[in-house]
Amino acid sequence: MATVRHNAPASSGQSLTGIQLPLSKRLWFLVLWIFANIIGFLIGNALGATNDGLVSHLMSGRILPHIIGDWIFGASFGVAQWLVLRRFFPNSRSSLRWWIPACMIGFMVGARLGARFAPMVGDDTFLVGIAFGALMGISLSTIQCIALWLSGTLKSARPLLWIPVSIVAWIIGESIAFHFGFVLFGVPIEALAIALVSGIALLWWIKSA
């Protein structure tokens, strides 16, 4: 597979918008991004899902198993996303190391906030899914942006649009998950929806560099 070329000198503070890719590589990025998210979500669900994940069966308790499961779930798709991002943003590899812990912390915060507050909207699973997705999107994207900002990766305001994009992506994804009742075949559909929305946004930033 060909290595993406970049004309600028390598720098740990390289902005994620600072890379030019031809159409074929942008489309390849989207394909890999979707595939990575689906695999990451399937692994995360198998290991760290709140009710049916491996952690929930191996550990007892009301809080710690959920937190550890959330960390594992976030790490699973965080690693998958990181592998794609570091390939297409080679000059940001050093700062992208913060992506994985940001996903772990963000997913844990979003999942716990969602479990606590989303049911307050009522018994309608559609509305609960929207509320849960909004809390998840806000938590994940905010912590991701903070991590990348502190590392110097985000040099312009445009990547801050990642927050509303993530909110929309996770609202769609969690609405699907709640609709299917979190059954296994719903996981790749949820991941596909989240990856498609977030991937298109990333493509726009790459294209607009």
pLDDT digits (tens, 9 = 90+) for 137-146: 999 999 988 8
Of 101, 112, 110, the closest CA to residue 75 belongs to: 101
Q: Is the pLDDT of residue 209 over 70?
A: no
Q: Is the pLDDT of residue 38 over 60?
A: yes
Domain borders along the chain are 23-207
Mean pLDDT (the chain) is 83
Q: Is the pLDDT of residue 156 over 90?
A: no
Region 98-109: mean pLDDT is 95
Determine what percent of the chain is predicted with pLDDT higher than 90: 53
- For the ranges 30-44, 47-61, 65-79, the lowest mean pLDDT is seen at 47-61
Max mean pLDDT among 1-5, 14-18, 28-32, 57-61 falls in 28-32
Identify whether the C-beta of residue 16 lies closer than 8 Å to the C-beta of residue 153. Answer: yes
Q: What is the pLDDT of residue 35?
A: 98
Specify the higher pLDDT residue, 92 or 36: 36
Region 137-159: mean pLDDT is 77
Q: Render pLDDT for 80-100 as a digit per residue (tens, 0 to 9).
A: 999 998 888 777 777 788 999
